[in-house]
Structure 1
Amino acid sequence: MGSHLVVINSREEQEFLFNLAKEKVTNAYETKYYIGLASYRNGQWQWVDQTPYEKIPTFWKPGEPNLLFAERCAAIHVKGNRDSNTYSNWNNVLCFTSCYRICELAVKFV
């Protein structure tokens, strides 16, 4: 469909996506949403659009990323619809974990 997993470029975008994801949660359980960040080499993270990982802010949960040898994909982690942890909620997960996805598409002017 011409889109890719979202690249989060700012604190404002992180807050917007977290609040949007939180609105979609219908229970008190945790929900995860893949974002466009993955570790292809031992702990070296890369955005799907080639945006340099070191050039933009990150929002990892305390203690994350961990288990870098196995958990190579990143996800926004929402702990129920009352979760207020807007800025530190990224979690690295196994890439075959069942997660929702947040995608983005470039704007095209006609």
Structure 2
Amino acid sequence: MRRTLTSASLAAILLLLIIIASAPLLTAHDPLEIRMDQVLQPPSGIHLIGTDELGRDVWARLLYGGRISLAVGFLSMMLTVFWGVLLGTISGLAGGIRIEEKRSGAKSTSLA
């Protein structure tokens, strides 16, 4: 059961990544284009999810917004890994856990 859930979750994430990465191929609409003649249109063949209050295609906005969200998440993960490796290396070379104790102690002192 657990293996099936893991596989299904991984497949769903990969599918989402593929859909978001291929956003320019999946929509012909500009997510920032304002079309006042198409305000609040219901879902149709032209606009799969409809349009918002400014006439922008919601499907295009979701796809391109997903790309931005993925980029922000990936960048924050890479910065976290960079700082973790850097601080871990410095801590390991400078005598073990002492740097982390000093950093945590500084937080505790400021709270007291």
The two structures have a TM-score, normalised by structure 1, of: 0.23
Q: Rg bigger for which structure?
A: 2
Which of the pair has the greater relative contact order for Cα pairs under 8 Å at 6+ separation? 1
Structure number with higher helix proportion: 2
Structure number with higher strand proportion: 1
The two structures have a TM-score, normalised by structure 2, of: 0.23
